[in-house]
Amino acid sequence: MTGYTYGYSPYTGQDGEEIPAFEVFNEEGVKVADTNENLPSKEQEYTAILFSAAPTLLEVLEKAKDCFGQHNLLSTATDEERRQAIGRFSEWWNSMAVPAISEVKNGKW
């Protein structure tokens, strides 16, 4: 899965006070985004978490699409095709979706 990361990168205001800010980096370590330092620090961090998680979450959703590649699965598929699709979905859910959701939820991205 894609390895975007984020880091805390505060500014120092003219008054010497720390202004919270976060940066998001791609797989190569290149900065791809900054958060809006006008927002509260926690909101900025949540934004950075979601931004850094977005490529992986997209991969997870694209894999889900592959699980149900047959658009008419419920109307014309055989029982065996349905069982296979449910198996693919179960594998996707347990190996990709649950870990990705947990990582974002726990802020460990």
What pLDDT tens digit does each residue of the chain (109 aa) get?
567 999 999 999 999 999 999 999 999 999 999 999 999 999 999 999 989 888 888 888 888 777 766 566 677 788 898 888 888 889 888 988 888 888 777 766 5
Asked if 15 contacts 23 with a C-beta cutoff of 8 angstroms, the reply is no
Predicted structure pTM score: 0.69
Cα gap 77→87, rounded to integer Å: 14
Dihedral of CA atoms 6, 45, 47, 13 in degrees, nearest 10, equals -90
What residue numbers bound the domain in which 21 lies? 5-105
The count of domains in the chain is 1
Q: What is the DSSP letter of 39?
A: S
